[in-house]
Amino acid sequence: MSIILVIIVAATRLAAIMADTSGQVVTTTSGTIRGIVRTTTTGSVNAFLGIPFAEPPIGELRFKKPVPKKPWEGVLNTTALPPLCPQSPAHVNAYFQVTEADAMSEDCLFLNVFAPAGNDADLKPIVVYIHGGGFTFGGISMKIFDPSELAARGDLVVVVAAYRLGALGFLYMGVEDAPGNMGLYDQLLALRWVRDNANAFGGDADKVTIMGESAGSISVGIHLISPKSEGLFRRAVMQSGSAFSNQLKMDKARSARKARAIVTYFTCDKRENGSRNLSMKDFVACLRSKNYRDILKATESFNPTKLDGFFPVAGEEFLPEKPGVLLERVAPNAREVLVSVCAAEGDFFVYYLLTKLQRLNDINLLTKCQVDLFLTAILTAITRAEPEEIIEHYFDHINLGNGTEVAYAASDLLGDLLFLCPTLGFAKWLSSRQHTSVYAFLFSHKLSFLGWQEWMRPTHADDIFFTLGSALSMGVKPSGSDVKATEKFVDVISTFSHTG
C-alpha cells in the first residue's frame, strides 16, 4: 500500500510539471512555478498550490530538521492542493476534520500562496498563516484554511505553511537524528523561503505578519521569542493560544517519556538476543524503518484523546529555555502583536465530553459528576493546584440540576485554563517590554452553518472562518450576519498587517 501511495504522489508531482499552460508564471529561488486564477466574492487572486519548500522528510530525513528544496528544472505547475502531513482522523467541527479518505504523505512540506491579481506595482504586506490542530492534525489543503478572500479583500499576499505533526514533527530523542521541534523548524524554513521569495509574488519582505490559531498561535508565540526567528517578520496575530499555554509541558523529561513509549511499542529497545544495550541512534533507526501509519497507531495507544501527544520541547537551540524564562531575557521578534480569544473557548471541549465520552445528546442530562473526572484529569495533568478547589470555584454558585449551567461552568474553567489565561498572560508579558504594542479582541459571533448544538456559544476554532475569510468560500450559504462579521474581521487583519 505504501509503495502504491508513493508512486501516486510521485506521478501527481510529475504531472504537475508537465501539464497546464495557463496561470501566472513566477520564478522562485527553488525554480519556476505556474499557478491558477481563483475567483472570490470581490475579485480574483493568483493561487500557487503545493509549492515545495523542503526536501521530502522521508527515509534518512525522517525526524531530522528540514532540508531546503533543491532547485528543479522546467515549470512546476502548482495548481493542485498537496497531501496532508500524516495524522489520524480527527473532528473539530463540520468543516475542520480529518478522515481516512484524505490524501496524506510524509512528502508534505508545501506552501500555498495567494496574491491579488492585477498589475499593481506596489509591494503588498504578507501574512504567513500557521494552522492549528494540537500539533497533531490539520493541514493547508483544508477548505477552512483557504485564505483567498483575505488576500483579495485585504490586498495581501497570504501564505499558508505546512509542517510535520505528531511524532513525525515533534519526537524528541536528544540527538541530531531526532532533535525535537522538527515541525517548528519546518515553519522556520517556510518563513525564510517567504522572505527570499516575497518579491516574486508582489509581496514586501519587510512587512510580514505571522498569524495562527490554537497550536498555530502557540507556534507564533514561540517564534516571537525564538532567537532562530529573529528578523523574519514584523507583526504577529495570535488567536487562542500562546507559548504560555498550560497544555504544553515543554520539559525534556516528559518528551523523552513519550519517545520511550513509541520505542517500547515497537520493541525497538530490544536486540534479537534480548539485550537492551542500544543507543538513541539505534532507536531512531528502528523507528525510521516503520510505516508512518504504524507510528500513528503507536501514538494513539497512549494518546487516544489527542490531547497529550508530541509537543514542542524547550532546551534545544530553537527554544533554548522555557518561554517564561526566555521572555525575560530577549526582546520580542515583533513590535506589534494582536491577540484574541473566543467568547466560550471551552464549549467545544464540553461538547466533546458530552458526545464522545459520555455519549449524551441531551445537554439537560449532563451532571457535575460526569464532568468531574474529566476536569480533574486535565487539571492534574497540567497544573500543580488542587483540582477540587478550582472546580468548586467554578461550580459553587450554579444550579447543579441544570445541565446547561453545568456545561457552562465546565466550559469556563477549561476556556480560562487552556486559552484565555495563557493568551492574555503572554500578551501582558509582551506589553511590559519596551517598544512593544499589544492589541486584543474578543470573538463573539456565532456562525450560522456549523451545526453546533443549540446551547453552544462561539467556541474554539470558530474564528478561523472569519479571520481568513473562508466563511465565504466553504461552499455553504452564510447568513447576512456571517458576511458582515467576516468583512469586519478581514478588515481587522488587513489593517493590522498594512499599518499595525
Active site residues: 214, 345, 460
d(CA 493, CA 443): 13
Which of left, alpha, beta for 214 (phi over 0: left; psi -120 to 50: alpha)?
A: left
203-213/235-239 β-pairing: parallel
Which three cell numbers mark 404?
A: 446547561
Spell out the residues 6+ positions from residue 182 whose beta carbon is closer than 8 angstroms to its own.
Answer: 57, 63, 64, 65, 66, 164, 168, 169, 170, 171
Which three cell numbers mark 5?
A: 501511495
Spell out the residues 6+ positions from residue 251 whose beta carbon is closer than 8 angstroms to its own.
Answer: 313, 314, 315, 322
Which three cell numbers mark 358?
A: 459520555
